[in-house]
C-alpha cells in the first residue's frame, strides 16, 4: 500500500516537475507545479504529517499558485521566445545540477540502512494526533517565532501593496 502510493505520486511529482521544465508557456508551467504540490501533499500524508498535507494544499496549491496564475493572467505573459540565452547556463549549470543530484543520491543510498524504512502506521508510541502534537510545541516552546511570523506576513502584505501600486498615484 505504502509502496503503491509512493510510486504513483512520486511519478506524478516527477512528471509535473519535468513538464514545468519543458513547457514554454508560463501558465502550463504553473499548472504542472500545482500537480507537483498536490502529489507532495499526498507524500507528506504518507509520512504521517497530516497537518502539513492540509497546509500544503491550502497554502501552496491554494493561495500561492492562485497568486501566480493571477499574475500570469494580469501581465498577459506569452510564450517565452527562444533566445540563445547564456551559454554558461548550459555548459556549467546542467552538469552542476546533475552533480548535485548525484552527490545527494550517493549519500542517501550509502546511508540507506541507517535511516531506515517508512511504514504507513509507524506513529510514535503514545502519540496524540499529529495536529495536537505540532500545536503543543508551536504554542509553548515556539510561541515567539510564531508571533513574529505574523509581523513578517504583515510587512510582506504592506510591501506587496507598495511595490505593486501604480506610480504617481499618491
Least distance from C-beta 118 to another protein, angstroms?
5
Q: How far is the CB of 90 from another protein (least distance, A)?
A: 8
What string of DSSP letters covers 38-70? HHHHHHHHHTT-HHHHHHIIIIIIIIIHHHHHH
- Residues 95-124, one symbol each (x = binds another protein by CB under 8 A, - = not), give -xxx-xx--xx--xx-xx--xxxxxx-x-x
Identify which of 144, 142, 148, 124 has the alpha carbon closest to the alpha carbon of residue 49.
124
Residue 153 DSSP one-character state: H
User: CA 69 from chain center: how many Å?
Assistant: 16
Give the shortest CB-170-to-another protein separation in angstroms: 16
Is 143 a residue that touches another protein (CB under 8 A)?
Answer: no
Residue of the chain from 144, 147, 167, 169 that contacts another protein (CB under 8 A): 167
What track of x and - describes contact with another protein for positions 59 through 78 (by CB under 8 A)?
Answer: xx--xx--xx--xx-xx-x-
* Spatial CB neighbours of 54, under 8 Å, sequence gap ≥ 6: 41
- Say whether residue 80 binds another protein (CB under 8 A): yes
Could you tell me the smallest distance in angstroms from the CB atom of residue 93 to another protein?
Answer: 4
Q: Residue 62's closest CA among 17, 27, 149, 70? A: 70
Among 8, 129, 143, 145, binds another protein (CB under 8 A): 145
Instruction: Tell me if 35 contacts another protein by CB under 8 A.
Output: no
- Report the C-alpha gap between 154 and 133 in whole angstroms: 27
Amino acid at each position: 500500500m505504502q509502496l503503491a502510493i509512493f510510486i504513483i505520486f512520486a511519478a506524478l511529482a516527477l512528471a509535473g516537475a519535468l513538464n514545468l521544465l519543458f513547457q514554454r508557456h508560463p501558465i502550463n508551467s504553473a499548472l504542472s507545479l500545482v500537480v507537483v504540490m498536490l502529489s507532495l501533499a499526498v507524500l507528506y500524508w504518507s509520512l504521517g504529517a497530516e497537518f502539513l498535507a492540509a497546509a500544503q494544499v491550502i497554502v501552496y496549491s491554494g493561495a500561492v499558485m492562485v497568486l501566480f496564475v493571477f499574475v500570469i493572467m494580469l501581465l498577459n505573459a506569452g510564450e517565452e521566445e527562444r533566445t540563445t540565452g547564456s551559454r554558461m547556463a548550459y555548459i556549467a549549470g546542467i552538469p552542476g545540477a546533475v552533480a548535485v543530484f548525484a552527490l545527494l543520491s550517493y549519500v542517501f543510498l550509502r546511508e540507506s540502512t541507517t535511516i531506515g524504512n517508512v511504514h504507513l502506521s509507524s506513529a510514535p508510541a503514545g502519540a496524540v494526533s499529529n495536529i495536537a502534537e505540532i500545536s503543543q510545541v508551536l504554542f509553548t516552546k515556539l510561541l515567539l517565532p510564531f508571533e513574529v511570523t505574523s509581523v513578517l506576513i504583515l510587512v510582506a502584505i504592506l510591501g506587496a501593496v507598495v511595490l505593486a501600486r501604480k506610480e504617481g498615484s499618491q
